[in-house]
Structure formats: structure tokens, C-alpha cells
Amino acid sequence: MRKIDVCLSPDLIQLYDLCNMAVVVVDIFRATSCMVTAFAHGAQEIVPVEQLEICESFRLKGYLTSAERNGITPEGFDFDNSPFSYQSEKVKGAKICVTTTNGTVAIQRSKAAPRVYVGAFLNISKIVEALKSWDGDALIVCAGWKGKPNLEDTLFAGAVIDRLHGEFQVADDAALMAWKVYNLASSDLLTSVKNSSHVNRLLGLGIEKDISFCLEMDKYAVLPSLVNEALILA
Amino acid sequence: MRKIDVCLSPDLIQLYDLCNMAVVVVDIFRATSCMVTAFAHGAQEIVPVEQLEICESFRLKGYLTSAERNGITPEGFDFDNSPFSYQSEKVKGAKICVTTTNGTVAIQRSKAAPRVYVGAFLNISKIVEALKSWDGDALIVCAGWKGKPNLEDTLFAGAVIDRLHGEFQVADDAALMAWKVYNLASSDLLTSVKNSSHVNRLLGLGIEKDISFCLEMDKYAVLPSLVNEALILA
């Protein structure tokens, strides 16, 4: 049977052999939730980059730009890191360059894989469907917070594993633990994440609305996929 | 309130500021369970080292030697990595040099902390007592398996957090998840770990007896503590 594993932090990705894997990168609060939302609202392409300066330089190539550091948007960028920013008319047809504290790092480090998808609760069914039709093993890469594992990305990993039960085998203990943690929380994700330190850090930024939105399941049927340096719809 | 955190893999230890922390290193299957057992049977000192060659060289200094790589003992060492090896007469008063795949690496990487204890289910009450009397934050460093998190070390971390509830606050999501996973499993640790890939790997080595032994709670009231390069009883 195919196997599914979970990398709880981008800082552990060197332990995984990506070369035959379908990888799903997740940063629930909020990078990948924003990307999914942007594609659902007509974005044409999203280029994830690690550095602010590189992100700014994409403006000259006709891209809109989006940046976040420590949950806050530096001045001079078109979008912040809220999924509500990506529901406006200007997203339609746009090419967007994005840099965030955790999510874009995780995407960059996953590039060695033959398939890299961007996942969130918002498009979880599309992710599950993509993995079902992939003829090999899968890895969910959690963006975490500055290298540390976080609850919400782990919950997403557990939710995907739960939906793939019977078709994929749990590869290792990180995946097993993600599944267990998800099963504990699945009936009420919002209450469960409210005890999380990372969420408390984010609530300090006044983004309660974002938190609830990012926990909605299957709001959008889009599958962002990395092709060379850019995310496009698969 | 003091905070307690969990480092799920030695490969993430650079993310934690150890300089004011009491650190507990855990490698349930089997390095720290063996060390606790050895001290309970009269070992005088245990020196954890990372390399086989260094371990061998301690023989010239009058040490007995213990080695494990991938669960197996290379030839020419006095002890293997089973807690039953450390219950014999030759342990009494012995100085032992130990190298293992995961546990000794985790101890070496924790050295920057002002207190480093070696923990296992076998001595969990002594660990809890030591942290209660420590006037600062605490970190449990899970040895994992070759850099990847594992279930049994995470369960131990969760068990310690559970016993310190009310005196220490959960610092971050890794600690929160360890606590959740432990609460799910606490009524029957053995059944819970039997689904773990790491344990299945170990069961392939024919060490069922070791697994059950290492899950026994509070068998020994010893507190191994790192002083310079050596573990001694605190």
C-alpha cells in the first residue's frame, strides 16, 4: 500500500526523500489558506519567494506583491496575509509574488518533489483527490512557526490522513500522532486551536475572523500546484 | 508561571534557548531506560558519547562499554541496549561509556543547559520532582529516531507535562500535542505504542520484553544528571 508521512517542520525536511513523493505544503494560518483563496478568486499565478527584496523586485515584472513577517505586513506591498485580502476584484487574472515567515520557506524546501501542492482546509477535498490519483507515496510538509511544529498544520495533516485511510498507510510516528491529534479535535477545530500558543499569538494581531475562515472545510475546489518556480492551478 | 516545552527531535534543538532551562532527555526505547536501570543497579557513572571509536577508547580508562547502532550491538562491547543487560552484578560500581543511535546524540546536544537530566517512564516521578524544584522553565528533548519524532518519547513528554499541570504552563504547540497524545494513550501505553512504526521496527529485533519493561512507571527512584561530560546520580 502507498504510504503517507508528515514532516512536522520545514527544518526536518532533509530527513525525507522527496524524489518520488507527492508533497502537500500547508500553512493554515495563513499563507496556504491565502493562496487557495487567491486562486479561487481568479489569480493566474503565485510565485512564492523567501526574501522580501526578491518579492519587491517582482513588481517590475508586472506582479502584484504580498508580504508577511511575524504576522504583520511590511509597508509597500499590495496584499497582506489575510485570506480576505484575496477576495477582491484585483486578484482576478493577477500574477502575485508572495513571501511569508513560514509558508513560502516550506514550499521552497519541497521543490525536489515531482509534485508539490498547496493545501489548506479550504481545499482539502481537492488535495485528497490529488493524492488518491498519485501513484506513489505522499508527504505533508507543515510550515510550522519559525521551525517549530504547530497545532493547526498538524491538524490539517491528520485530516488528510484520516480521509485517505484505507488507501494510504501511515508511514511513521509523526503521521500517526497527527492523525491522533486530529481525531481528538475534529468535532470542533476552532475550540481546539484556541488553546494553541501560535493561535494565541495570532489572536494578538486581531485576526479572529481569519482564524475561523481558515478552518472552513472545502470552501474552494482549487488545486494549486508548483510548476518550476510558480504555483498555478493543476 | 514557569513554562514547559517539548523538542520533538534533536534536529530541532537549535530552536530552543537552553541557557536557563532544565532539560530532560528521553529515549524510551531504549537508551535512557537503560541508563536509569544501570544507575538503579549501582552504576557509578555513565559517559554518553556520539562515536563508536570514542566509546571503545574509554575501555583503556577502565570503563565498561555499551554500544547500539540501528537497534543492534556491534561486537566487542560489554553491554547491549537492553535494560535487562544492566541488571547484573557487573553494573555495581561500574563506570560505563555508552553510544547509541539517538539517545546519546540528544544528550550531547542538550549540554548548553544548566541542568540536564535523563528520564524514562522508569524514573518519571524523580524527573517530575526535579522539575518541580527547579526555579525556571523546562524542556523535554525527545531523542526520536534518526531525527524524526517518535511516539514513545512524545508520550513520555506528555506524561511529564500531565503531572506538572498547575505548576508549569504549556509553552508551545509541540508540548500541547504531546500532552494530547499522552492523554489518549495513558490508560494503556503498551497497546498504544504497538501501532507505532518505530516500535514495529524494534519488535523486528525480538525485544518484546524490553518494550514492556521500558513502559513500567516508577520502577526506580534515581535521577541521572549530567555533570561536565558524565552522568551521575543527582
**ipTM (interface predicted TM):** 0.95
Is the distance from CB of B214 to CB of B28 less than 8 angstroms?
Answer: yes
Predicted TM-score (pTM) of this structure: 0.96
pLDDT in tens, B115-149: 999 999 999 999 999 999 999 999 999 999 999 99
Residues of B with CB under 8 A from a CB of A: 8-9, 11-12, 15, 145-151, 154, 170-174, 176-177, 180-181, 184, 195-198
3-state SS assignment for residue B225: strand
CA distance B58 to B76: 13
CA distance A172 to chain B (A): 5
- For the stretch A33-89, pLDDT in tens is 999 999 999 999 999 999 999 999 999 999 999 999 887 889 999 999 999 999 999
C-beta atoms of A180 and B176 within 8 A: no
> Which residues in chain A are closer than 8 Å to B176, comparing Cβ atoms?
151, 195-197
Contact assessment for residue A100 and residue A230, using Cβ atoms and an 8 Å cutoff = no
At A151-200, the pLDDT tens digits run: 999 999 999 999 999 999 999 999 999 999 999 999 999 999 987 877 88
Per DSSP, the three-state class of A222 is coil
Q: Copy the grid coordinates of residue A22.
A: 507527492
Mode of pairing for the β-strands spanning A224-227 and A230-233: antiparallel
Q: Is the peptide bond before A30 cis (omega within 30 degrees of 0)?
A: yes
CB contact under 8 A, B173 and A198: yes
Size of interface A-B (CB pairs under 8 A): 77
Minimal C-alpha gap between B192 and chain A (Å): 11
Q: What is the dihedral of CA A13, A142, A46, A56, to 10 degrees?
A: -80
> A206 in the Ramachandran plot: left (φ > 0), alpha (ψ -120 to 50) or beta?
left
* pLDDT tens per residue, range B25-57: 999 999 999 999 999 999 999 999 999 999 999
* Contact (Cβ atoms closer than 8 angstroms) between residue A26 and residue A182: no
Residue A12 has phi, psi (to 5 degrees) of -105, 5
Beta bridge partners of A92: none
Closest C-alpha among A1, A11, A9 to residue A131: A1
- What percent of chain B stands above pLDDT 90? 88
How far apart are the C-alpha atoms of B102 and B68, rounded to whole Å? Answer: 9
